[in-house]
Amino acid sequence: MASEDGAGRGALAGTLLLLGDDGPFVIDAGGDGPIELPKDLAGLELSPDGNHVLAARSVREPTGITRNTELVTVDVQSGETATIVAAAPKEDVAPAVWSPDGTRVAYRSTTYERDPSVVHPHGHGSRSALCVVTVGHGEPRCFGGLGRVDGIAWSPDGARIVIDAGGPQPLQLLDVSTGRTRAIGGPHGPWLRRVGTHGRFMGFFHPSWSPSGRYVAAVADMEPRRIIIFDTRGESVTGRGFSDIFAEPVWAPSRDVIAYASVTGRIREKRLGLNTDLRLLHARTGRERVVRAFRGYPLLYGLEWDPAGRSMAALLYEAGRGWLSLVDLEDRRWSRVRLRHSVSGLLDWAP
């Protein structure tokens, strides 16, 4: 595996998790080639050490609903699969995320009021909880009374979890040891004025925690959409606007710097009017810099930091196909990576 400019496998140190047209696969820089994973997995994430993949398995119920029925781990090298959570008959268990030390998994548990295999759950109610389970040991501990649970992310020390409710609600910071929560970013809070917008706020998504644990970032669904960074010790914020999002914002491994794709323009009839910028935003100062500006094709569809934080992988898309490129953040040099598999999703990168 090499890039088109002749760079060797060393440029891809660690383990990359990708999605291809034929299913998910892993690139291990120290291995012989791509490792294909079971095709029926979804919501995949690499463990912090890169040795396992966390994923959900689902079934299509007779009512037409797709229900996530179990959470599994897959050994990257052996392919061995182990179930860590099995859902009850009226339960859905996803999304799920690894704890920073890889010993626990947090996931959303949704329990439907009616059996989803018999009655479609729409209009019949459900309740959500956030659950934490130690991998390979014991029963999950679930926290109810949180309202709707949508996106979730661990703090770097594994002590708290940030939750978004998927609607015009504040983010919740949950203390895993006590079960207590604290809200930040309410729908009528002063942060709306601080980021210079008066548009209708419709909710947060893609919550994430900075490496220092001081900041929480989320995408605010409004016009235009904005990346909002909250100081978890107060209400100080940094905000940046963009008209749409293709690539989920991602924090650097050891710096409070977040990378994102800023998108402007619109798709016009018979020609593309979109422009995509790869930008780095510093949480403390609010300053940002453009690493690369794309005018029209290719579009930037996915981003991941390398484990050392010196470069990034980017999924670029043009003419109905995607490919993987690496960018050195110091000299801003891009190199395309040759792979035997087509790439449609850039999911994760671990040591």
Structural domains of the chain ordered from first start: 38-144 (2.120.10.30)
Q: What pLDDT is stored for residue 320 in this prediction?
A: 76
Question: pTM for the complete prediction?
Answer: 0.91
- pLDDT of the chain, 351 residues: tens digit per residue: 333 333 444 467 889 999 998 899 998 866 656 889 999 999 999 999 999 999 999 999 999 999 999 999 999 988 899 999 999 999 999 999 999 999 999 999 999 999 999 999 888 888 999 999 999 887 999 999 898 899 999 999 999 999 998 889 999 999 999 999 999 988 888 888 877 766 688 899 999 999 999 999 999 888 778 889 999 987 778 877 665 566 889 999 999 999 998 876 655 444 555 778 889 999 998 888 889 888 777 888 889 999 999 999 999 888 778 889 999 998 888 888 888 778 889 999 998
Three-state SS string over the chain comes to CCECCCCCHHHHCCEEEEEECCEEEEEECCCCCCEECCCCEEEEEECCCCCEEEEEEEEECCCCCEEEEEEEEEECCCCCEEEEEECCCCEEEEEEEECCCCCEEEEEEEEECCCCCCCCCCCCCEEEEEEEEECCEEEEEEECCCCCCCCEEECCCCCEEEECCCCCCCEEEEECCCCCEEEECCCCCCHHHHCCCCCCCCCEEEEEECCCCCEEEEEECCCCEEEEEEECCCCCEEEEEECCCCCCCEECCCCCEEEEEEEECCEECCEECCEEEEEEEECCCCCEEEEEEEECCCEEEEEEECCCCCEEEEEEEECCEEEEEEEECCCCCEEEECCCCCCCEEEEEEC
